[in-house]
Chain A
């Protein structure tokens, strides 16, 4: 997420658009289909004056209807989705927004996946912002198209537009049975001026047909038949398959290679040596030897026969156990102050009653069920790539930079993504495919095996955090110090970055919502020795685990109910601006005016979830409730987990309750799915997830070592409440994830008195909690 701050600069700027800009008159007729004209932010300015109409400057980007919608003569409404579909149901959500304002019949809607191209504006499908960034402009595009269709009907009938109404794919006429379908009107509508934004009439909320409704997924009917094209399903004529043996250490390299036995494997065609990356890692391939074969299995079999010796390179001394000690030592030293209120150090030094705790979260892997896969094909100096990428547009820029060619010569097709969770916004695998394809002169699909995925990822950062507090006689927190230490994502994109950067800290560390009079947030130094990346909810994972656990620890020290204490810490309803206390706070790339930090909304979800879970009820022996609440991706989530701990220490989860205030929600059904899935994703990591390194190489090889939560370990019940809201749309894909670990840890403490401060709770082979 927030990739733009770290994107490598391509040799040729990816913002140059290869498509000739066309004026509003550029709507072309081809085979009777209302074909897309294109218009560009930046390029269209001169023509805007003439047209006075092109919707290129709408908040969120270009809302020109033709960029997003085409209507076939048979009435099929093709809606372009420029975001990547990875299970969050962005096809359905984008379709709902456009179709609602267009007043299309849902059964006529078909989604067209956009190529990566700057004309669509931001295509970076992470940061939980596909709806937030596009809600307004896609409504405008849909409504503008509806207006043009209505005008076309009025012209045809020779009546005022006021006597024409668009509804469910038809325009009807007042006091008449006449009606014209959108398909019949499309060509004529395409010859009309695009209205100006001020002339576009958006529906009122009570007129919404699809927005806010549990509209069924557009992808599921294909999925249940095994249809739909994921990255791994791409096929091209004359295509060959490759897998790559990569250096075990980042910035390691091949010393010697003997590929004779590999080449003797039936189906193996050749090997290709990939270039060694130069620091910083960016999205470069890691180097190594590719085995190219007629099918994937032959490539895998051939790779096993490679005899390679490696130079280990500069990261060979990275060992997770000693690195942990370094992080924890650093967390005990003063760090760089990132936010300050009052004087927490003095208050703690002078307090009769203090509390401190240290928390540890290991490296984590995304491990989407579909590993990363890309297919590339060169035609002269033209490159086309098909890949499960979260951002086909930046992938195009990265490829242009790597190969030193113009992005005009590159087409990037985003397939469906078989899970992504941040891994697939790093297109190193697309560069690998393009490199190998160029070497062998044929289309090449590069498949990452699960071992490749786990051992050569962009890992969630391992972290240590130290918290200190001063408590008053009555138990109130009078001062809070939090100090966070972990290698920065910035280290992947620039050399010399050895400290978490502002936006990483802003995900739960510098935006702690507590009203304690003295508050101090510090960050310490940590060198990266693997590629650090962003994983679903990013640094919120460790920050929220620590903050919400420590709040419960303070409540315990104060002898108070953890939910009540948490609400008291949050305090009265108010808006918080961490910038006034020295924090460099980007607020998820949103303005604090449009998306304030509202403690009233935060408390409300916490109070709501407590009611849902019947907080305070009598529980069976061995059961406990834990609560956590947090704002992330400009949405508010509170979670209560009930855990059952048997006398032998085995865990089960009888129930989870979750309340979410994400402002305006486009699809309630899929919002619930994200809450459930996001929570259990967090639970899986908290219970089992740990990636470790020995001598710089990742130790986990496959699912027996990297453990994911299975059906029998899933919670028995899960209740979600979506708070009704007319506030601006917030994120849904990530905000549930960070609550899982602290809610579970707090529940375990309530059940057993055992405080979890280090993750994972059980690890790859554990089945019981050590209750001693």
Chain B
């Protein structure tokens, strides 16, 4: 049965099996592969997207329960906070392999959109759900602070 989703400001009709997680709808059905698969159990954060601006793990969200909520993915991550994060990420080469970084960026964007001057503790709390095996954590921490400063 077709479901209508609101993704990056557009209404999109999807015909996926009942209960299919948003992650696989994005990746396999809509070919929006910026959102990554890392664990499938909500433990790694690679699949992080925004629902109404809040970071959530798309591998845990049945797509057919989302209704009208505004979904934002890395492909549609725009606005002042998103731009600041992107610029800080590029300026300091925060990523290494980059695979987890869509999720890192979605979490970081939500953080500075909601907290203009995050402390180390705020960053720990907001980013602890995003694993990075390349271990770019210190660069991410610096990137978030640089991005927040650029918005001040």
Instruction: Provide the bound-state CA to CA distance between A492 and B109, in Å.
Output: 45
Q: Mark B67-90, 1 if CB is under 8 A from A, else 0.
A: 000000111000000000110011
Check if B54 is an interface residue, CB within 8 A of chain A.
no
- Confirm or deny: A712 has a beta carbon within 8 angstroms of a beta carbon on chain B: yes
Tell whether, in the assembled complex, residue A225 and residue B34 are in contact, meaning their CB atoms are under 8 Å apart: yes
Could you tell me if A220 and B94 are in contact, using CB atoms closer than 8 angstroms? yes
Please give, as numbers and ranges, the residues of chain A lying within 8 Å of B125 by CB-CB distance: 712
Give the shortest distance, in Å, between B143 (CB) and chain A (any CB).
10
B16: A residues at CB distance < 8 A: 295, 297
Judged by DSSP, the binding face of B is loop
Q: A367-B133, A421-B133, A711-B137 are in contact. List 10 more A-B contacts (CB 8 A).
A: A220-B98, A221-B90, A224-B86, A225-B86, A241-B28, A266-B18, A418-B36, A677-B96, A681-B134, A711-B140
The residue among A417, A449, A673, A715 with the most chain B CB atoms within 10 A of its own CB is A673
Known contacts: A297-B28, A368-B99. The answer to whether A224 contacts B90 by CB under 8 A is: yes
Residues of A237-266 whose CB lies within 8 A of B: 241, 265-266
Residue of B nearest to A447 (CB): B37
Instruction: From A295, A369, A712, A715, name the one whose CB has the most chain B CB atoms within 10 angstroms.
Output: A369
* A380 close to B (CB within 8 Å): no
A278 contacts chain B at the CB level, 8 A cutoff: no
> What's the nearest-Cβ distance from chain A to residue B57, in Å?
12
Q: Tell whether, in the assembled complex, residue A676 and residue B90 are in contact, meaning their CB atoms are under 8 Å apart.
A: no
Answer whether A673 and B21 are a contact pair too, CB < 8 Å, given A702-B43, A714-B141: no
Q: Roughly how many angstroms separate A235 CA and B136 CA in the complex, as a whole number?
A: 29
Q: Which of B24, B73, B90, B135 contacts A714 (CB 8 A)?
A: B135
Bound complex: CA A574 to CA B97 (Å): 38
With the chains together, A267 CA to B16 CA distance in Å? 9
Q: Which residues of A contact B (CB under 8 A)?
A: 85-89, 216-217, 219-230, 232-233, 235, 241, 265-267, 295-298, 300-301, 367-371, 416-421, 447, 449-450, 669-670, 673, 676-677, 679-681, 683-684, 702-704, 708-712, 714-716, 718
Chain A residues near B101 (CB-CB < 8 A): 223-224
Give B94 Cβ to nearest chain A Cβ, in Å: 7
A303 CB, min distance to chain B CBs, angstroms: 12
Chain A contacts for B90, CB-based, 8 A: 216, 220-221, 224
Say if the beta carbon of B29 comes within 8 Å of chain A.
yes
Determine if B117 is an interface residue (Cβ-Cβ < 8 Å).
no
| Distance between Cα atoms of A673 and B23 in the complex (Å) | 30
Pick from B32, B97, B137: contact of A369, CB under 8 Å: B97
Specify the chain A residue showing the minimal Cβ separation from B86.
A224
Q: Are A223 and B98 in contact (CB under 8 A)?
A: yes
B135 and A681 contact, CB distance less than 8 A: yes
| A-B contact list, 11 entries, CB within 8 Å | A220-B93, A241-B28, A296-B27, A300-B40, A369-B100, A450-B38, A676-B139, A677-B134, A711-B130, A714-B135, A714-B137
> Which B residues are in CB contact (< 8 Å) with A421?
133
Q: Residues of A contacting B136 with CB < 8 Å?
A: 673, 676-677
Docked pose: A419 CA to B27 CA in angstroms: 19
Residues in B neighbouring A710, C-beta threshold 8 A: 128, 131, 137
Residues of B within 8 A of A709 (CB): 135, 137
Q: Which of A229, A370, A716 has the most CB of B within 10 A?
A: A370
B74 and A225 contact, CB distance less than 8 A? yes
Contacts of B135 in A (CB 8 A): 676-677, 679-681, 683-684, 709, 714
Across the interface, do B41 and A702 meet the contact criterion of CB distance under 8 Å?
Answer: yes
CA distance A616 to B139 in the complex (A): 29
Residue ID in chain B nearest A680 by CB atoms = B135
In the complex, the answer to whether A226 meets B93 with C-beta atoms within 8 Å is no
Q: Does B132 contact A (CB under 8 A)?
A: yes
Q: A670-B93, A710-B128 are in contact. Are A227 and B34 (CB under 8 A)?
A: yes
In the complex, residue of chain A having the shortest beta-carbon distance to the beta carbon of B46: A369
B74, B131, B135 pick with most chain A CB within 10 angstroms:
B135
Q: Are A297 and B24 in contact (CB under 8 A)?
A: yes
- Find out whether the CB atom of A296 lies under 8 angstroms from the CB atom of B28: yes
Q: Judge whether B86 and A87 touch: CB under 8 Å.
A: no
> Is A417 a contact of B97 with CB atoms below 8 Å?
yes
User: What is the distance, in angstroms, from B101's C-beta to the closest C-beta of chain A?
Assistant: 5
User: How many whole Å from A709's CB to the nearest CB in chain B?
Assistant: 7
Inside 8 A of B18's CB, which chain A residues have their CB?
Answer: 266
Q: Which residues of B contact A87 (CB under 8 A)?
A: 95-98, 134
Question: 9 closest pairs, A vs B, by CB?
Answer: A226-B34, A418-B99, A87-B97, A87-B96, A226-B74, A680-B135, A223-B98, A714-B137, A703-B43
Measured CA separation A217–B34 after assembly (Å): 19
User: Cβ of B33: which chain A residues have Cβ within 8 Å of it?
Assistant: 226, 229-230, 232-233, 235
Residues of B whose CB lies within 8 Å of any CB of A are 16-18, 20-21, 24, 27-29, 31-41, 43-44, 46, 73-75, 85-86, 89-90, 93-102, 105, 120, 123-125, 127-128, 130-141
A652 vs chain B, min Cβ distance (A) = 11
Contact assessment for A267 and B17 in the assembled complex, using a CB-CB cutoff below 8 Å: yes
Residues in chain B near residue A227, CB distance under 8 A: 34
Measured CA separation A222–B16 after assembly (Å): 29
Q: Are A369 and B128 in contact (CB under 8 A)?
A: no
- B20 engages A369 (CB within 8 Å): no
Decide if B24 touches A89 in the complex (CB within 8 Å): no
Please determine whether B96 and A226 come into contact, CB atoms closer than 8 angstroms.
no
Q: Give the nearest-CB partner of B35 in chain A.
A: A226
Q: For the complex, give the distance between the alpha carbons of A265 and B135 in Å.
A: 38
Neighbouring A residues of B24 by C-beta, 8 Å: 295-297
Q: Does the CB pair B98–A219 fall under 8 Å?
A: yes
**Which of A232, A267, A681, A712 makes the CB contact (< 8 A) with B37?**
A232
- With A224-B90, A669-B93, A711-B123 already in contact, the answer to whether A703 and B41 are too (CB < 8 A) is yes
B32 contact set on A, CB distance < 8 A: 226
Provide the bound-state CA to CA distance between A670 and B95, in Å: 10
Known: A87-B97, A418-B36, A681-B133. A703 touches B44 (CB 8 A): yes
Q: Which residue of B99, B137, B138 is within 8 Å of A230 (Cβ)? A: B99
A217-B98 Cα distance, complex, nearest whole Å: 11
A85 to B98: give the CA distance in the assembly, Å: 10
- A506 → chain B, closest Cβ, in Å? 27
CA distance A708 to B101 in the complex (A): 16
B139 surroundings in chain A (CB, below 8 A): 673, 676
Residues of chain B within 8 A (CB-CB) of A683 are 135
- Assembly CA distance A188 to B120 (angstroms): 58
Instruction: Give A267 to B15 CA distance when docked, in angstroms.
Output: 11
Please indicate the chain A residues that have their CB under 8 angstroms from the CB of B27 in the complex: 232, 296
What residue in chain A is nearest B91 (Cβ atoms)? A216
| Residues of chain B contacted by A265 (CB below 8 angstroms) | 17
B-chain residues with CB within 8 Å of residue A225 when the two chains form the complex: 34, 74-75, 86
Q: Which residues of A contact B98 (CB under 8 A)?
A: 87, 219-220, 222-223, 228, 416, 418
What's the Cα separation between A416 and B96 when bound, in Å? 11
Find chain B residues with CB under 8 A from A708 CB: 131, 133
Residue pair B99, A89 in contact (C-beta under 8 Å): no
Q: Shortest CB–CB separation between residue B118 and chain A, in angstroms?
A: 12
Q: Complex: how many Å from CA A420 to CA B133?
A: 9
Instruction: Please give, as numbers and ranges, the residues of chain A lying within 8 Å of B141 by CB-CB distance.
Output: 711, 714
